[in-house]
Amino acid sequence: MSFQTMVLTGKNGASPHGTPGLTPISKGDLVLFDLGVVHNGYCSDITRTVAYGDISDEQKNIYDTVLQAELSALEKVRPGVSAKELDLTARNIISEAGYGNYFPHRLGHGLGVSVHEYPSLTETNPLLMEKGMVFTIEPGIYVPNVAGVRIEDDVVVTENGYETLTKFPKTLQVIS
């Protein structure tokens, strides 16, 4: 594994880098998985959030907002786009949905022989992306006692755009 696997739910799920606990998973909870492996010396890093049983309209709205933010930022990845444009693309969608105060971390980070490398995708970093750079796109919304949702993919910048290295589906999975 490239870092200690994180599985968060309930109150813990609303803490972006919480510590796994012994809380049993309850119906109506979202469950966040953040994990990765090392392959030929290089790290991967993926986050998916699933629903256990029926979730509320607000939880669904939070999930849809994070997914929209993630997809919109991904679609902008190409040589010449700045780190801050990518971060702000996701951040503006989350802010417009009313959750701006609940996205407390950067959009993503470089990925390589270490799980956290440069470039850092923050809302102030003017660095321009270049072909061959590999980084994560991982917006999240964490509302205490309501929901913690993060969706994370690994991407590589290509000649004209990007390729997603993580292929697991992102449509909301409801586990019954």
Phi and psi torsions of 123, nearest 5°: -75, 0
Report helix angle 57-75 to 83-96, nearest 10: 160
- Least distance in Å: CB of 99 to Mn ion? 19
Pairing of strands 108-110, 117-121: antiparallel
Among 16, 29, 45, 59, binds Mn ion (CB under 5 A): 45
- Least distance in Å: CB of 151 to Mn ion? 11
- What amino acid occupies position 76? K
In the region spanning residues 130 to 159, those forming contacts with Mn ion, defined by CB under 5 A, are 136
- Least distance in Å: CB of 120 to Mn ion? 11
Which residue lies nearer to Mn ion by CB, 3 or 60? 3
- What amino acid occupies position 30? L
Which residue lies nearer to Mn ion by CB, 55 or 89? 89
Distance, CA of 133 to CA of 155 (rounded, Å): 8
With CB under 5 A as the contact rule, which of the stretches 2-10, 44-52, 123-131, 167-175 interacts with Mn ion? Answer: 44-52
Contact indicator for 101, 95 with CB cutoff of 8 Å = no
- Least distance in Å: CB of 152 to Mn ion? 5
Distance, CA of 7 to CA of 79 (rounded, Å): 34
Is 87 one of the binding residues for Mn ion (CB under 5 A)? no
Which residue lies nearer to Mn ion by CB, 43 or 147? 43
With CB under 5 A as the contact rule, which of the stretches 7-15, 51-59, 81-89, 128-136 interacts with Mn ion? Answer: 128-136
Q: Please report, in angstroms and rounded to a whole number, the separation of the first and last CA atoms in the chain.
A: 28
- Describe the strand order of the beta sheet including 162-164 as a list of residue ranges: 117-121, 108-110, 134-137, 153-157, 162-164
- Least distance in Å: CB of 153 to Mn ion? 10
With CB under 5 A as the contact rule, which of the stretches 10-18, 20-28, 55-63, 129-137 interacts with Mn ion? Answer: 129-137
Interface contacts to Mn ion, rule CB under 5 A: 45, 136
